[in-house]
Structure 1
Amino acid sequence: MNVYLDKLQSSGLKITPQRQEILRVFLESNKHHLSAEEVHSKIVRRYPGLSLDTVYRNLNLLLNLGILSELNFGERKSFFELNKQEHHHHIICTKCGMSQEIDFCPLTYMDSRLVENFEIEKHSFEIFGICANCKDKKQTVETR
Structure 2
Amino acid sequence: MSNKITIDDLTQKLKGPHHKITPQRKIVLEVFIENPGEHLSAEDVHYILRDKGYDIGLATVYRSLELLSDLSILQKNDFGDGCRRYELNTATADAHQHHHLICVSCGKVAEFADDLLDELEDDIMKKSNFKITDHQVTFYGYCSKCQKKK
Fold match (TM-score > 0.5): yes
**1:12-58: CA deviations, max 9, x gaps?**
4221221111111000115521111100001113223x211110011
Amino acid aligned to 2:115: C
Give me the whole-angstrom Cα distance separating, in 2, the residues matched to 1:5 and 1:111.
Answer: 33
Once the two structures are superposed, the pairs formed by residues 1-144 of structure 1 within 5 Å of their partners are 1-45=7-51, 46-48=53-55, 50-85=56-91, 87-110=97-120, 112-116=122-126, 117-137=129-149, 139=150
Tell which structure's C-alpha radius of gyration is larger.
1
Label 1:5 to 1:111 Cα distance change in 2 as closer, same or farther (>3 A). Answer: closer
Counterpart for residue 4 of structure 2: none
**Aligned-residue identity in percent:** 39
Tell me by how many angstroms 1:111 deviates: 6.7
The two structures have a TM-score, normalised by structure 1, of: 0.86
Give the number of aligned pairs.
137
Cα drift, residue 100 of structure 1? 1.1
Against the structure 1 CA distance between its residues 11 and 84, is the aligned structure 2 distance closer, same or farther, given a 3 Å change threshold?
A: farther
Q: TM-score, normalised by structure 2?
A: 0.83
The letter of the residue matching 2:109 is S
Unpaired runs of at least 5, structure 2: 1-6
Q: Provide the C-alpha distance between the structure 2 equivalents of 1:43 and 1:77, rounded to a whole number of angstroms.
A: 19
Q: How far apart are the structure 1 equivalents of 2:31 and 2:87? A: 10
User: Deviations for 1:92-130, whole angstroms, at most 9, x for unmatched residues?
Assistant: 111111111112113224273332121013211111111
Structure 2 residue aligned with 1:142: none
Give the 3-state SS of the residue equivalent to 2:117 in structure 1: helix
Counterpart amino acid of residue 91 in structure 1: L
Secondary structure of the 1:34 match is coil
C-alpha distance in 2 between matches for 1:84 and 1:14: 22
Distance 1:51 1:111 in 2: 42
Contact 1:106 1:125 in 2 (8 A): no
